[in-house]
Structure 1
Amino acid sequence: MAPISSLGLPVSASHRFVLAVSWLILFSLLSQIACGIYCDEDDCYDLLGISQNANASEIKKAYYKLSLKYHPDKNPDPESRKLFVKIANAYEILKDEATREQYDYAIAHPEEVFYNAARYYHAYYGHKTDPRIVLLGVLLVVSALQYLNRHSRYTQAINMVKKTPAYKNRLRALELERNGLASNKKKGNKQMDKKVEEELSNELELQIQGTEKPSIWSLFAMQFILLPYALGKMLLWRFCWFWRYQINKAPLTWDDACYLTQACLKIPHDAWQNIDKSAKQNLVMKRLWEKVNMENYQAEMKRESKRRR
């Protein structure tokens, strides 16, 4: 094949010529795609035999005229039936102001393929879909992804823990406790059977901070369904709290004092559960929910931190 420069044009001019031809081809293809979502490969205006400037009355007259000619009841020809379907589709697009404006925009801006397609599908299918079904579908998809992600993280964490000596020691201790072999060192040092190890592993409840076992109750979909219940429960709890401690001036219960201490120190619930009982009692006795006590506690922690340095 001869190089472009052999056509007698300068190289730079040849490049511009090829680029212009390429853009024309691309523009033509994009135009066909943009308009194809409306009337396939045909032009909606040409199907009705009208110009793009035709008004609503002219569009209606053109459609009725063609209907008398190509309607299946008037014309038994199979090709006429196919043509009538196209004419009816073109009329549905052009008779509505919104869809006609979208079609005209697609003709004028064929390069915006994705934008034109989105407007088309939104106009034709958006109003036919119940928003509640869409919301439910989104929640289910997000919840499924959430569950798979948590399950994957939990499985990886469990597999890593099972390789640690501490886990193997717990497993061995559980076997000795269950079989009453605590005094038999020879059997205790024997390699554990895989089947027995799997059974004992199922009995151990591993609590790994940050990678808890996935539960359906923590999924977005379930939380959304239970949202009214959770809001009602929270409002009732706040009312009872206000009535008990603001109106009746009752002394704090241990659980409520723990809650206030945990909230003041911003300690997660799981981390608070793992704190030693005596340490919890020491923190609760400081009454950190009172501003002065909290300030004294923070100052004490700063001094302790400096001493350790």
Structure 2
Amino acid sequence: MEPVLRWLAIFILLSSLLPYIHAIYCEEDDCYDLLGVTQSANASEIKKAYYKLSLKYHPDKNPDPESRKLFVKIANAYEILKDEATREQYDYAIAHPEEVFYNAARYYHAYYGHKTDPRAVLVGLLLILSAFQYLNQWTRYTQAISMVKRTPAYKNRLRALELERSGGITNKKKASKHINKKVEEELSNELELQIQGAEKPCLWNLIVVWFILLPYTLGKLIFWKGSWIWRYTIYKSAYSWEDACYLTQRSLRVPQEAWRTLDESKKNDLVGRRLWVKSNMEAYLTELRKEVKRRR
């Protein structure tokens, strides 16, 4: 008895949803009936039927308020049936009324999915993300600069720069006073403040720029990798200074900015140790551990 009741409930549910299939297309009407054609009518017959009915029920031709409503329905039916894709979907919905949710999904995808270009969505998303990225970097940078400007070291640098610009001419009265705000602003523009972790935002580092330059970056990477394999794997050449620095930096896992700020003598020492060789790296780490223990 329970299976019968279950199937009966499903039948009642589907029956209640059947009008919905027509509603998403031509409301309670049949699109073919609105145009006065059969389901087997070709595109030319559908077009002729629409133009004939539009002349009869167009608001400019027929002042009756009801004709305006009917004209809207006729125009909607024609929009559905004139396109082969939407007509095929509508025919499928008529033939398979039990597939309510599938038919509804196809309808909304056909009418709303294609109206938004995925490329435009992607570009818009990248622009929004880049705007947030730039705003976040600028906020961090301004906050860091503001904190640095409060430190005594920064004020001392400003005073030193002021003395340099004035040729070292100053007096006790002038030295005891604070630097004029306008002068301080001019001097601060001359000081290049490099704050680790809060660098000044750059357009080249934005996501949208990375995405635009992605083909170039990939091409450059492939070319670099190919030339690396040719020079050092196939041809067995000695590593150039730049490539040896790259291998050393990668072996030590040192950030690029930190590597750039290293003393040249320290760089020479590290590169000369050939740390990209596993045994050399192990020996270097052992040496560091011994040095740390000695200092303790």
Distance 1:225 1:100 in 2: 43
Map of 1:187 onto structure 2:
174
Decide whether the 8 Å contact of 1:181 with 1:188 is kept in 2. no
* 1:46-89 C-alpha deviation (Å, 9 max, x unpaired): 78779xxxx9559x9xx999958853346632431332212332
Distance 1:101 1:298 in 2: 71
Structure 2 unmatched ranges of 5 or more: 1-18
1:228 equivalenced with 2:222 (yes/no): no
Higher mean C-alpha displacement, 136-145 vs 197-206: 136-145
Map of 2:73 onto structure 1:
86
Q: Sort the Cα spacing of 1:64 and 1:240 in 2 relative to 1 into closer, same or farther, 3 A.
A: closer
Q: Sort the Cα spacing of 1:64 and 1:272 in 2 relative to 1 into closer, same or farther, 3 A.
A: closer
Calculate percent identity across the aligned residue pairs.
56
- RMSD of aligned Cα (Å): 4.1
TM-score using structure 2 length: 0.70
Map of 1:5 onto structure 2:
none
Shift of 1:160: 1.5
Structure 1 unmatched ranges of 5 or more: 1-30, 110-115
Q: Sort the Cα spacing of 1:149 and 1:102 in 2 relative to 1 into closer, same or farther, 3 A.
A: farther
Map of 2:54 onto structure 1:
71
Map of 1:167 onto structure 2:
154
Shift of 1:196: 0.7
Shift of 1:189: 3.5
Map of 1:148 onto structure 2:
135
Amino acid at match of 1:43: E
**SS class of match (2:200):** coil
Map of 1:45 onto structure 2:
29
Aligned length: 265
Q: Sort the Cα spacing of 1:72 and 1:254 in 2 relative to 1 into closer, same or farther, 3 A.
A: same
Higher mean C-alpha displacement, 186-195 vs 129-138: 129-138
Higher mean C-alpha displacement, 234-243 vs 299-308: 299-308
Match of 2:265 among 249, 264, 278: 278
Q: Sort the Cα spacing of 1:302 and 1:93 in 2 relative to 1 into closer, same or farther, 3 A.
A: farther
Q: Sort the Cα spacing of 1:305 and 1:56 in 2 relative to 1 into closer, same or farther, 3 A.
A: farther
TM-score using structure 1 length: 0.68
Distance 1:100 1:189 in 2: 90
Q: Sort the Cα spacing of 1:56 and 1:142 in 2 relative to 1 into closer, same or farther, 3 A.
A: farther
